[in-house]
Amino acid sequence: MERRVSVSAHGTLVTAASFLGAFAQALLRRDFGRAEAMLAPWMRASLPAGGLKLVVQNALGDAAPPTEFAVEALPYENLASMRDHVDEYKSNPDNRTLATTDGSVGEFGPPSYPVPDQLTADTFRGCWRIEFQPDEELEMDDDYSYALYVAVSGENDAMAVGYLEPSD
């Protein structure tokens, strides 16, 4: 599902999916500085001491390094449904956050971290799963190396990752 977000200064249509494609490409190239620059300020502030690199390393674990990715839209059509999921499945007894992530997934899947207050109904542009996949020729048992659950925040012609969590 392609969600239109804004028109850039050059008049080209910018979609959240294309923005996330650039974000995933930066992660695939291990360009963590570029990927972190694509995070909303509140997400950068919530990273663990090792930054996005540590989040990815924890999510990857012992899996084969990825060589490609796929971006899939998720069913949360509005921010309220995301917040409702977190409230309904309060499987966060250890106060799981991005800053304390070990790469594992919440019992009921994402979103399980508290949704930042800075991500508002006006700026919410949707949720996606980014799946990072290993080389097919490796014939691995797992279909993917790791996955991330993300929500995009956008104002005017600027977009950022406004929520991020390792996903199953």
pLDDT at 108: 76
Q: Is 46:116 a contact under the CB 8 Å cutoff?
A: yes
pLDDT at 15: 82
Separation CA 160–CA 148 (nearest Å): 15
pLDDT digits (tens, 9 = 90+) for 127-168: 899 999 987 766 656 677 899 999 999 877 789 999 999 887
Confidence band of 89 (pLDDT split at 50, 70, 90): low
% of the chain surpassing 90 pLDDT: 45
The angle subtended at Cα 36 by Cα 45 and Cα 34, nearest 5°, is 155
Q: What domain range includes position 145?
A: 4-167
Number of domains in the chain: 1
72: nearest Cα among 132, 158, 135, 160: 132
On the question of pLDDT at 93 being above 70, the answer is no
Q: Which tokens in the block code for residue 58? A: 């924890």
pLDDT at 150: 93
> In terms of DSSP H, where are the helices of the chain?
16-28, 32-37, 41-45, 51-60, 79-88
147: nearest Cα among 163, 126, 128: 128
Distances (CA, A) of 89 to 14, 85, 92, 136: 34, 6, 8, 35
pLDDT digits (tens, 9 = 90+) for 9-36: 333 345 888 899 999 999 999 999 999 9
pLDDT digits (tens, 9 = 90+) for 98-122: 888 887 777 777 888 888 999 999 9
pLDDT at 94: 58
66 forms beta bridges with 134
For the chain, give the mean pLDDT.
82
Residue with tokens 């509005």, as numbered in its chain: 78
pLDDT digits (tens, 9 = 90+) for 29-44: 999 999 999 999 999 9
95: nearest Cα among 117, 114, 108: 114
pLDDT at 10: 36
